[in-house]
Structure 1
Amino acid sequence: MIRTLFYALVVVALATVTGNVTGDWKAAAEIDRFAISPELTYAQRTAMHANDGKQVTVHLAFFTSRAFRLEVIDLDADSRPALPGLSEAFRAAGSVAGVNGGFFHADRQPLGLMISEGQRIHRFERSRLLSGVIYSDQRGIHLVRRAQFRDHPGITALLQSGPYLVEHGQAVRGLSASDPRPRTFVATDWRGHWVLGATPTPISLADLAAVLATPGALTDWTVDRALNLDGGSSTGFFFDRGPDQSPVTITPIRRVRNLLGVRPR
């Protein structure tokens, strides 16, 4: 009896640390879909937790590294107005889709290294939060752990951010299962398929990692790795559906320092 109780407590403790197990999430609905080409697609999808019926709705911009690259759009610490129109900022940079970018300090300096149009701003930091690096260079788009990153010439866009959500197809252990809030993320199958996502539905980091790691819950391909970006009141999303249709947008509540955009090669 005591041994059984001990094992039960261990299971509960592990569930608290790791959040919902991957298989507990499943695709619920595709609310909207708009394909510009096979290389660029917007979708709004909902996933549901099988045990308690909890749902999360996510705006998704799917693209391939063969046809697109990532750009970091610096909104500048002293820019006015307080927040340029999201559509205008992305379109001015030549981006067809994007989300808000990384975290920033109280003085609006980026948290960690930021590279925009090849220009390096601030410095590389080793904060526990900044567990990942997303960047573009002449070889393509890369998402790596901070310890694996090797700085080199030719990087055109880079953001430090975190925490890491998915690694080698598995939800990262130890993520917070509390404090649900809107989230922003970037994910890839590491085979040329990428997605930028934003969820207006509040969700914990552990749940977000679990739903992303569940094959078919949000993506048509298996997520190999995913990285959290600045969320909460910074959450923003943009997808340009063309000149005859309004773009899909989520406008950040607060002024953000940078944006992460998708631009044709």
Structure 2
Amino acid sequence: MRTPIRQGQTGRVRRSWSPRQASSGLLLWALLLPATSALAAEWTPAGEPERQDISADLAYAKRTAVRPSDGKRITAHLAFFTSRAFRLEVIDLGADPEPAYPTLEAAFRAVGCVAGVNGGFFHPDWQPSGLVISKGRRINRFETAKLLSGVIYNDDRGIHLVRRGRFQDHKGINALLQTGPYLVEDGRPVRGLSASDPRRRTFIATDWRGHWVIGASMSSLTLAELGAILASPDAMTPWRVDRAINLDGGSSTGFYFDRSAGQAPVTLHPWKRVRNLLGICTR
């Protein structure tokens, strides 16, 4: 229904404000409150973040994000890299009681990776969940479990992160993990992420312009919080995250970064043995 207007002697148009419009205005204000609250809960860098040269092909950072609404702080180890200079490597540790390598550092050094994190999910008998490809060898099969909503893989064309339904299997894939859930898509947190069960988290994210980051949190947080942090400008990355996906976390969370000669590597050890690792190696 259109609001009636009256023409005054001055020639100005005056709108009459009806009770129905007042109610509509109150309703609109109520609807805007959740959006305002969501903006207030956006994560920001804790303090002044170190300036990072985004043109660098490889960089390590330890960053902390804070949520202004309650002061919660999340700290994570991050390895930034570019797809023009690096590729992914999936390291399979086997299903035997003793892993193929005793530590993350030993595994990544053995295959020439400069950095890496723990990989995908696995069952109590060490069998991986979903499809895994390591050095071109296929382990397990493609699965449709709700958790395994995405695929991160490497082929001759570069690094790819896609939804499970958009993945097209093909020759030439030398490293792949089926994992999930998706955390960020088109620059926004994915709806429906769990807001319970806080724990340490592992993830991989990209701006879809050749910049990538693998990370492991040192603090406990929910999947919903992780998605919000990664989608918040500058909270963890110097560039806008276009998409991100979760890897196995909790007691499996691990991180490794080989710093320059003469410096000890950055390591975060898992609390338990894992089935596979996701590393980055030079092309």
- TM-score, normalised to structure 2, is 0.84
Q: 1:20 to 1:179 in 2, by over 3 A?
A: farther
Give the structure 2 partner of residue 94 of structure 1: 112
Q: Relative contact order (C-alpha < 8 Å, sep 6+): which is higher?
A: 1
Give the structure 1 partner of residue 95 of structure 2: 77
> How far, CA to CA, are the matches of 1:188 and 1:263 in structure 2?
17
> How far, CA to CA, are the matches of 1:21 and 1:178 in structure 2?
20
Percent of aligned positions with the same letter in both sequences?
64
Q: 1:40 to 1:131 in 2, by over 3 A?
A: same
| Structure 2 SS opposite 1:243 | coil
Would you say 1:230 and 2:248 are equivalent positions?
yes
Give the structure 1 partner of residue 174 of structure 2: 156
- Give the aligned residue type for 1:45: R
| Structure 2 SS opposite 1:181 | coil
Q: CA deviation at 1:38?
A: 1.5
Unaligned runs of 5+ in 2: 1-22
Would you say 1:64 and 2:82 are equivalent positions?
yes
CA displacement 1:114-140 (0-9 Å, x = unmatched):
000000000000000000100000000
Would you say 1:183 and 2:201 are equivalent positions?
yes
In structure 1, which of residues 24, 35, 43 is the aligned counterpart of residue 42 of structure 2? Answer: 24
| Structure 2 SS opposite 1:254 | coil
| Structure 1 SS opposite 2:261 | coil
- Give the aligned residue type for 2:194: S
> How far, CA to CA, are the matches of 1:242 and 1:30 in structure 2?
25
> How far, CA to CA, are the matches of 1:33 and 1:85 in structure 2?
32
- Give the aligned residue type for 2:96: D
> How far, CA to CA, are the matches of 2:222 and 2:38 in structure 1?
10
Q: 1:66 to 1:11 in 2, by over 3 A?
A: same
| Structure 2 SS opposite 1:209 | helix
> How far, CA to CA, are the matches of 1:237 and 1:146 in structure 2?
25
> How far, CA to CA, are the matches of 2:249 and 2:74 in structure 1?
15
Would you say 1:202 and 2:193 are equivalent positions?
no
Q: 1:176 to 1:71 in 2, by over 3 A?
A: same
| Structure 2 SS opposite 1:203 | coil
> How far, CA to CA, are the matches of 1:29 and 1:246 in structure 2?
26
Higher fraction of strand = 1
Contact persistence 1:20–1:210 (CA under 8 A): no
CA displacement 1:172-204 (0-9 Å, x = unmatched):
001011111000000000000000000010001
Q: CA deviation at 1:46?
A: 0.4
The aligned length equals 259
CA displacement 1:158-181 (0-9 Å, x = unmatched):
000000000000000010111110
Q: 1:200 to 1:243 in 2, by over 3 A?
A: same
Contact persistence 2:40–2:69 (CA under 8 A): no
Q: CA deviation at 1:93?
A: 1.1
> How far, CA to CA, are the matches of 1:31 and 1:86 in structure 2?
28
CA displacement 1:63-88 (0-9 Å, x = unmatched):
00000000000011116258611111
CA RMSD of the aligned region, Å?
A: 2.7
Q: CA deviation at 1:106?
A: 1.7
- TM-score, normalised to structure 1, is 0.90
- Give the aligned residue type for 2:250: G
Q: Which has the larger radius of gyration?
A: 2
Q: CA deviation at 1:29?
A: 4.0
- Give the aligned residue type for 1:94: G
In structure 2, which of residues 148, 153, 162 is the aligned counterpart of residue 130 of structure 1? Answer: 148
Q: 1:32 to 1:217 in 2, by over 3 A?
A: closer
| Structure 1 SS opposite 2:264 | coil
